[in-house]
């Protein structure tokens, strides 16, 4: 089996979980090439109807947090490669299959693909993220240098959900993680991506990326990274600070070591600014000294504009992106010639049509009986305004991280 797609779920809203599994099942993946593995981390929610509908390999465990759930999944997964998808997120239909092909063609043990934000208002990718904008390839110690070079400013460097990994690589990372203090009786749910990817990057031999679809990172009020209470803020600080301690203690003793260390220290300072800003804006004055001590900062600063520059330039994917993807999926599944109407200037659409013609032998014929119309992107005027670079930049200057106005504007994006 080529790929195991791991979905760890813990009391996720049912509609989100359903959409997640549906997006994986309705894809260009061939059934014989992958397994869908769901690890239920002790949910009180009953997902039996959803599990029956999508028929994944289903395992329920005691609640020990996302890190432990993923480590367990690595052990039982049957695929040569493993991907992780959060239970409240979705993927476009041609996401994973090209990643497998790329891994086989290049011998890479990590393959990255594009990602985008999915809000209640719209969907958008970040052009400031070089992994979305450019083609990248790293080997050996350069992979860990790349991981640290992001300094925490862009999701793509340190998250697990936009990548597939060789299982053998993840097993090495698992063994190293289990030697640390991260695996304990207290659920580890905040910085598990960064911790895992540090050890993965340390042992990887080759990393490449492609641009064939999007992993949609859903923004909503119930997600675990939405800091609201003092207790949750403290828990985030504890886990992130421990993650930095572990990473800094496990740096390779090479010429790259100091460069990587500098990136990690800049990242730690960024997290201190972020949590200091939250503590101030959420009126938790007693947490301010806690932030300083945990992140080992002599002086605390509020979040800076440069902390968010990766997210300034955005590419709106269209309010009807899922309708576009649905029609492309119909085209892919069609076993006959198709009369296709589509916008040739839409690179996402035209690239996939070209792929089907050149690699899958798909026949596009104006005279064909079957008609498929791929709709043009629809983008509301208000979204064009909100996502304007200048307006976004003004918002960063005017409204601090953690403020109610910042949260309000974010909900409208």
pLDDT of residue 309: 84
How large is the greatest C-alpha to C-alpha distance in the chain, in angstroms?
72
Domain map of the chain by residue range? 3-218, 230-315+384-412, 320-378
Residue 38 has pLDDT above 80, yes or no: yes
| Residue bearing tokens 């939405």 | 226
- pLDDT digits 0-9 by tens, 317-336: 999 999 999 999 999 999 99
- pLDDT digits 0-9 by tens, 192-246: 999 999 999 999 999 999 999 999 999 987 654 454 588 889 999 999 999 999 9
| Residue bearing tokens 């100091």 | 258
pLDDT class for 249, splitting at 50, 70, 90?
very high
* pTM (2 d.p.): 0.93
**What is the CATH architecture assignment of 3-218?**
Alpha-Beta Complex (3.90)
pLDDT class for 282, splitting at 50, 70, 90?
confident
- pLDDT digits 0-9 by tens, 69-123: 999 999 999 999 999 999 999 999 999 999 999 999 999 999 999 999 999 888 9
pLDDT class for 364, splitting at 50, 70, 90?
very high
pLDDT of residue 409: 57
- pLDDT digits 0-9 by tens, 382-406: 888 888 877 777 766 666 665 665 5
């Amino acid at each position: 089996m080529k790929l195991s797609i791991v979905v760890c779920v813990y009391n996720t809203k049912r509609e989100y979980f359903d959409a997640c599994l549906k997006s994986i099942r309705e894809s260009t993946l061939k059934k014989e090439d992958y397994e869908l593995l769901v690890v239920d981390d002790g949910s009180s929610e009953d997902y039996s109807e959803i599990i029956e509908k999508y028929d994944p390999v289903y395992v329920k465990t005691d609640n020990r947090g996302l890190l432990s759930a993923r480590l367990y999944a690595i052990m039982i997964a049957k695929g040569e490669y493993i991907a992780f998808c959060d239970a409240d997120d979705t993927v476009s239909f041609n996401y994973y299959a090209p990643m497998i092909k790329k891994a086989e063609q290049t011998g890479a043990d990590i393959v990255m693909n594009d990602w985008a934000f999915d809000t209640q208002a719209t969907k958008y990718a970040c052009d400031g993220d070089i992994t979305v904008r450019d083609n990248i390839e790293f080997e050996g110690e350069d992979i860990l240098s790349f991981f640290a070079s992001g300094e925490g400013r862009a999701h793509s460097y340190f998250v697990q959900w936009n990548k597939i990994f060789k299982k053998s690589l993840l097993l090495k990372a698992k063994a190293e993680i289990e030697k640390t203090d991260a695996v304990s009786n207290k659920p580890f749910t905040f910085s598990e991506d960064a911790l895992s990817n540090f050890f993965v990057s340390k042992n990887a031999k080759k990393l490449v990326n492609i641009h064939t679809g999007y992993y949609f990172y859903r923004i909503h009020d119930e997600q675990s990274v939405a800091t609201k209470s003092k207790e949750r803020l403290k828990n985030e600080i504890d886990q992130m600070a421990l993650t930095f301690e572990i990473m800094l203690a496990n740096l390779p003793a090479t010429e790259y070591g100091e460069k990587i260390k500098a990136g990690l220290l800049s990242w730690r300072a960024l997290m201190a600014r972020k949590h200091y800003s939250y503590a101030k804006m959420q009126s938790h004055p007693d947490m301010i000294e806690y932030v300083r001590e945990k992140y080992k900062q002599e002086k605390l600063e509020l979040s800076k504009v440069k902390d968010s520059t990766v997210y300034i330039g955005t590419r709106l994917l269209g309010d009807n992106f899922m309708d576009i993807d649905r029609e492309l999926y119909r085209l892919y599944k069609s076993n006959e010639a198709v009369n296709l109407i589509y916008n040739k200037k839409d690179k996402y659409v035209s690239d996939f049509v070209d792929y089907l013609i050149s690699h899958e032998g798909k026949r596009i014929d104006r005279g064909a009986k079957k008609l498929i119309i791929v709709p043009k992107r629809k983008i509301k005027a208000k979204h064009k305004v909100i996502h304007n670079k200048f307006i976004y930049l003004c918002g960063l200057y005017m409204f601090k991280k953690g403020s109610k106005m910042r949260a309000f504007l974010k909900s409208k994006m």
